[in-house]
């Protein structure tokens, strides 16, 4: 009897900083709502290359990756599939324009985030804003007790 293996899908998400704001896209496809730019890693593509490609496809900007933030792997983070995402922080200049599966986009700060935010991106954004406020990563990502 053969066993059929199922593996999580690999994705990237990018917190793109433009000045003091971050870019979020409003998705054209389900699940509908606001999200970080990002998507699936193509076969043969590095995480970093995927992040740069996804940013170009969704927000029409070339980005500079400044750091790899964290990997999120909760099996329920995406209602469509089990995905594992690596989140990057990046900077960009210029004016973002919605493209690909981004219906529209906006620049937001911590205190004016749109609704609804899909996937686990609210948690990612909460972690990101805590990190930017100076909370050490070991506190943000402490293992459960």
pLDDT in tens, 54-96: 999 999 999 999 999 999 999 999 999 999 999 999 999 899 9
* Mean pLDDT of the residues in the chain: 95
Note the pLDDT of residue 41.
Answer: 98
Cα end-to-end span (Å), the chain: 40
The domains of the chain, with CATH numbers, are 9-134 (3.90.79.10)
This prediction has a pTM of 0.94
83-91 and 9-18: which strand pairing? parallel
CB 35 within 8 A of CB 105: no
């Amino acid at each position: 009897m053969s066993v059929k293996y199922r593996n999580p899908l690999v994705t990237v998400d990018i917190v793109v900083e433009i000045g003091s704001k971050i870019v979020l896209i409003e998705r054209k496809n389900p699940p509908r709502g606001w999200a970080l730019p990002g998507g699936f890693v193509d076969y043969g593509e590095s995480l970093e290359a995927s992040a740069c490609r996804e940013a170009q496809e969704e927000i029409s900007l070339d980005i500079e990756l400044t750091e790899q933030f964290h990997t999120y792997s909760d099996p329920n983070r995406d209602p469509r599939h089990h995905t594992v995402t690596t989140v990057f922080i990046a900077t960009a200049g210029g004016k973002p324009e919605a493209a690909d599966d981004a219906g529209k986009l906006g620049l937001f700060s911590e205190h004016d985030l749109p609704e609804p935010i899909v996937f686990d991106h609210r948690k990612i954004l909460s972690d990101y804003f805590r990190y930017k406020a100076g909370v050490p990563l070991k506190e943000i990502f402490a293992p459960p007790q």
